């Protein structure tokens, strides 16, 4: 038997914990949480993942912007700045999406981060493959899959933690 959507409050906390702030305020909180999540992911990549794997810095964010917009950096330094801006731009998008999904499904904590990750990561991976920026995931090595999975899970969980903290602070908790 196929069931309809869950009752309000059933996925996350009960309705009494449901966010009562406006949607724009919630999305702004998500964007701020996305900045924190991206900073956490970047620190994890630089301090843990890249030293362990020997992976060089990825310019995939800059390549995405260059493919979608008429932006062509004139120097390596300008491309690196574009890369960081695009890297954080992606994180802002994850934060806004986290806010919208958390509000809609009443998600909180690690469960909320995992749910948002499960929603966004496949689209992230497939979208970049469709854009021609990397191979489809079924052609990746196990190491490449583990690296991308872990980096984006750090992003999702750190964004979720920051979002929950900012929301609690806004409610005076």
pLDDT digits (tens, 9 = 90+) for 47-89: 999 999 999 999 999 999 999 999 999 999 999 999 999 999 9
pLDDT attached to residue 47: 98
pLDDT attached to residue 96: 97
Distance CA 166, CA 131 (A): 34
pLDDT attached to residue 13: 47
Split at pLDDT 50, 70, 90, the class of 172 is confident
Q: Is the pLDDT of residue 153 over 60?
A: yes
In terms of pLDDT, which residue wins out, 42 or 9?
42
Of 128, 102, 88, 107, residue with least CA distance to 13: 107
pLDDT digits (tens, 9 = 90+) for 12-28: 544 444 556 789 999 99
Task: Name residues whose C-beta falls within 8 Å of residue 7's C-beta, 6 or more positions apart in sequence.
Answer: none
pLDDT attached to residue 2: 47
CB atoms within 10 A of CB 77: 9
pTM of the model: 0.85
Q: How many CA atoms lie within 13 A of 33 on its CB side?
A: 31
**Ramachandran region, residue 107 (left: φ > 0; alpha: ψ -120 to 50; beta: rest):** beta
């Amino acid at each position: 038997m196929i069931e309809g959507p869950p009752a309000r409050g059933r996925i996350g906390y009960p309705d009494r914990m449901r966010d009562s702030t406006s949607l724009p305020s919630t999305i702004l909180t998500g964007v701020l949480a996305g900045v924190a999540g991206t900073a956490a992911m970047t620190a994890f990549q630089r301090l843990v993942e890249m030293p362990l794997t020997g992976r060089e810095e990825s310019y995939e964010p800059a390549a995405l912007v260059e493919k979608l917009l008429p932006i062509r950096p004139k120097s390596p330094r300008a491309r690196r700045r574009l890369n960081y801006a695009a890297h954080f731009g992606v994180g802002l998008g994850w934060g806004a999406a986290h806010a919208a999904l958390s509000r809609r499904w009443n998600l909180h904590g690690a469960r909320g981060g995992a749910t948002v990750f499960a929603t966004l990561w496949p689209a992230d991976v497939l979208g970049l493959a469709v854009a021609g920026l990397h191979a489809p995931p079924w052609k990746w090595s196990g190491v490449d899959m583990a690296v991308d999975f872990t980096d984006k899970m750090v992003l999702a969980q750190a964004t979720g933690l920051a979002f929950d903290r900012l929301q609690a602070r806004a409610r005076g908790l």
